[in-house]
Amino acid sequence: MDDPQASRGRRPESRGGVLHTDLCVLGAGSAGLSVAAGAAQMGAAVVLVEPNLMGGDCLNTGCVPSKSLLAAAHAAQAMREAGRFGIRPHEPVVDAARLHAHVHGVIAAIAPHDSVKRFEGLGVTVLRAAGRFTGPDEVEAGGTRVRARRFVVATGSSAAMPPIPGLTDGPVLTNETIFGLAEIPSHLAILGGGPIGVEMAVAFRRLGSAVTLVQHGTILPRDEPEAVAILRAALRREGVALLEHARATSVEHHAGGVRLWLEGAGAVQATHLLVAAGRRANTAGLGLETAGIATHERGIRVDAGLRTGNRRVFAIGDVAGGPQFTHVAGYHAGIVIRRALFGLPARVDYAALPWVTYVDPELAHVGLTEAAARDAGHAVTVLAEPLAGNDRAQAERTTEGLIKAVLGRRGRVLGVTIVAPRAGEMIALWGLAIQKRLGIGAIAASLPPYPTMGEISKRAAGGHYTPRLYGERARRLVGLVQRWLP
């Protein structure tokens, strides 16, 4: 149900030059928009404060443009790899202007859903100005004072700049600027081997750039090593120069581009440098101290219910210092709506938190890794199944991948990693299993259609029972039953 006439919020009241409202939301990114839309459609009076682009990072400089660029890169790579199907391959010609138009066309298609017009239609009062606390129960934005029963800080995060000498002495790219490029970089150096760095390495390499990726440790350090090994091999096979355990010591900017010096390993010469070395919470200028709101190195300090030290104020999304994903922002929004609008108890629980690195093949994970499960004291059993045993993978010539399931006592599902095409679509089943505290038998008893990549989940789960089903005890039982059956 979207934008129905009967589902509009009440308007804030203006008294003595001050807007009085139920809820004031600072930030119109994924987290803030989810709270504002939900609260307004439930009848609350809502003020939304945003000085920059509606939709925030996800729509304008994050998830949407990056996945649009990756889709184009995938299409280019399909042309190169058509030979495996008996189709003559060829090197694609990338039109940078049309590629740019594609990426920004996708943003434009989604933007109306996040627009001022839509939210004003829901009854939300939108203030297009920077907001700051002027007291524990008041925010000022563009000369307008707002007092609210509850406030939600959802100002997101920005690309962090590591303290490398010379880095900011010249132009560098971040996720906030790279999608505005009018040309394909001749040689793109990427500083950072997390999901953003790896995804952009794949995208620009497939679109014709030479790419060098520099990571101070191993790439994708939060993921299962077996899964990362598959992606590492894929990156190198496609021609990405991958420098792991490499520490950048300084940067030199010059007319032809940039030179990135590495400790004990010379320098990387490139035309462009993308910094993808983490995020920092957007807390500057909010007047948090005035409102009695504490921060730490990752963002605003909150309790398990996302409430700050000021009982009127919640912080959600990236600025709350937890996992930085758009789906977490939406999850946080649901918790705050339950607490702020209905006074119900609600707490964050990341036991079934999924994440996906959208490369080829995709790497999807939910729950605990094997190492984390062992560190937490679980009695761990591991199930693993290669993608090569899946018939759909064979038909599509995409057999590099695996599924790894981490089980606890009585076969309870603790965590799963999948490396496969569209692994992000397959991981939700396992997230539900973890959330509902299901055992592996529930997956083993499922009935996926044939032939699908998703069958690998059932096959892996069935492996848990193989020793018992095909062991000597089962053989004796079958022999005994057969003697007595008519």
135 is in an annotated binding site: no
CB 449 within 8 A of CB 393: no
Provide the H-helix boundaries in 111-224. 116-121, 195-206
Closest of 8, 28, 5, 20 to residue 126, by C-alpha:
28
Residue 178 labeled ligand binder: no
296: helix, coil or strand?
A: strand
Known binding residue 278? Answer is yes
Written as one string, the DSSP assignment of 57-93 is HHHHTSHHHHHHHHHHHHHHHHHHTGGGGTS---PPP
Please tell me whether 27 is known to bind a ligand: no
Does 463 belong to an annotated binding site? no
Tell me how far apart the alpha carbons of residues 264 and 336 are, in angstroms, rounded to a whole number: 49
Strand partners, 266: none
Is 192 annotated among the ligand-binding residues?
Answer: yes
SS3 label, residue 13: strand
Q: Is 117 annotated as a binding residue?
A: no
Match 């089962």 to its residue by tokens.
474
Around 267, how many Cα atoms within 13 Å sit in the side-chain half-sphere? 12
First-to-last C-alpha distance (Å) of the chain: 59
195 known member of a binding site = yes
Residues 178 and 100: their CA atoms lie apart, in Å, by 11
Report the b/e string of 276-302 with b at 16+ CB within 10 A: bbebbbbbeebbbeebebebeebbbeb
Q: Is 322 annotated as a binding residue?
A: no
The answer on whether 193 is annotated among ligand-binding residues is yes
Which residue, among 190, 237, 186, has the nearest Cα to 77 in the 3D structure? Answer: 237
Question: Is 318 annotated as contributing to ligand binding?
Answer: yes
174 annotated ligand-binding residue: no
**Is 305 a known ligand-binding residue?**
no
What's the CA gap between 359 and 357, in Å, rounded? 6
Residue 395: count other Cβ atoms within 10 Å of its Cβ.
10
> Residue positions in the annotated binding site for FAD?
67, 131, 155-157, 318
> Residue positions in the annotated binding site for NAD(+)?
192-199, 278
> Residue positions in the annotated binding site?
67, 131, 155-157, 192-199, 278, 318
